[in-house]
Structure 1
Amino acid sequence: MTVLTDQYTAERAAIDAGLRAAASRLPAPAARIAAYHFGWTDEAGNPVEANSGKALRPLLTLLAAKTVSGQWHTAVPAAVAVEMVHNFSLIHDDIIDRDGLRRHRPTAWKVFGVNDAILVGDALHALAFEVIAEAGGDRARAGAGLLAQTVRALIEGQLADTRFEGREHVDLAECVAMSEAKTASLMGCATALGALFGGGTPEQVEALRDFGSRLGLAFQHVDDLLGIWGDPAVTGKAVYSDLRNRKKSLPVTAALGSGHADAPELAALYRAAAPLDEDGLRRAAELVESCGGRIASQRAAESLTAAAADGLADRRLHGGAVEELTSLAASTVGRVW
């Protein structure tokens, strides 16, 4: 658990219990891989206390429910479903990006193989809808529909992301649209589901969805910054990870399209056929910064977070819970500077 979420002990415990209960329904081989991925066990299936991630999205779900009803317990199934979808996407993303580390440990596909990891990701996807369906009633039907729309958006965003790697030029607007689909959509879904399961009005559900979507795009700006300058001890990934994979991330795309005198050199490094060595990676990071990509993403993240908070004004929400929600958002987005 990180500093961002240490205060939410009861919420984290409820999310963890729901995830474990759902994962226990899987066939034994799949349950073992899922338990490893979630940080509950080692490769051999022995219990450990590894990093299970921030659980940011399910926490947002619970806090969103609290803003409309004053309590979060009714939204636990929605929170579990959101985290299941998030982790299904992580397992698949690691395979697509050939990432060998997540949360300071070898990724599931590196330990158990690509085929088994793909199937476990699929299983977590299915479990998410099973958990939502068991909540019953109109909210379950509406929630399942929202979750299905979100998964389609996630896939659309991932397809765009992978195609960008093979293109020499990507517009910043295209990159933003990809990030809105791949990252912001699930954050928006998380907060909308929280409002829905908390009994919110349609207007409140939409306002919370907009909050989550804006926060999600801010989060992607920060995540892209960490993908270049993040400390591996914090991120659990190799330094310059996104540059190594020639990702057209938000700061890189902003830098390439900046018109700065250094932009052609950055473009040449990204076009190079050979893998970038450590000097090349370091130089690419310097060029992204000199071309303004780093500061552009920082400012965008700050602006989006402020706009997200402003959008919750005058929505007849519980003030204390709104403060919790916006404080968690600000702490998450501010973690890179």
Structure 2
Amino acid sequence: MKIAIIDDYQNVALDLADWQTLQADVTVYDTPLGDEVQAATRLAPYDVIVAMRERTPFPASLLRSLPKLRLLVTTGPRNAAIDLAAATQCGVTVSGTGYEAHPTTELTWALILAAARLLPRQFESMRAGGWQVGLGNSLRGATLGVLGLGNLGSAVCDIGRAFGMETIAWSQNLTPEYAEQKGVTYVERDELFSRSDVLSVHVVLSDRTRGIVGARELSLMKPTAIFVNTSRGAVVDEAALLDTLEQKSIAAAALDVFDQEPLPADHPLRLMENAVLTPHIGYVSRDLYEIFYQDAVDDIRAWAAGSPLRVLS
């Protein structure tokens, strides 16, 4: 059995799980595979592929280019970048792994605090031999708005209340009764954007949520507000967000996700002083990677024994 572990950017997969028990030929790719043609060429020899989240898409065209592939394991319980119907047609079993949301919750708050207290500018000043620069803001008494009140949005609100913030929320399926159960005030969509001092996005990318934050929504925000996205880049109209930042219509955007990943080296977001950027690391923590890779080994072992686990397709 030939196994490819792809997009292991930190090159840690072999250290975090016992791959030797599989008695297989395991190859690790720790850089992006390239375009679809390059990916097809590099992945052609493998019976099993372990994919890290949605870093490499698996559309029908790529799956059909991999006749040897029989098992595709994605870390996490779902992967919107895999064409599950095509996988079934190609005779490829797709399995997932366990997942924990707390690393993304923690990173969301790291981004909020970094933007509110101007931490990137303070870091740069200290490294350059300087001292205090700019004037940040505290969060006590401010309004935290969340777009999406699922497990992640609810956890972010719990921490916001610990900071002494008022918490409000809206999403397409949210009801006032459910929000009240979570200790959060339900508001209408426009009010979410106009009232929030910090607005954090926590929705799953779908046809309904793609581009749900556009120029109109951003125009409703306060000039002192911080916009945070640790969900998916395509939830936001990136061109509208760039224009908003260029015009300084909001105080800052704190982003962990982007339309194109890895973010191109010459992307204009990298030059924005009012943008706090991290390279999609919401889920990148040792404890979660251990779950991902140990479950992936279990998935492969179970599939080889004829009883696949956590089957998505």
Aligning the two structures, in what range does the TM-score lie when normalised by the shorter sequence? under 0.3
Judging by fraction of residues, say which structure has more strand. Answer: 2
Judging by fraction of residues, say which structure has more helix. Answer: 1
Select the structure of larger CA radius of gyration.
2
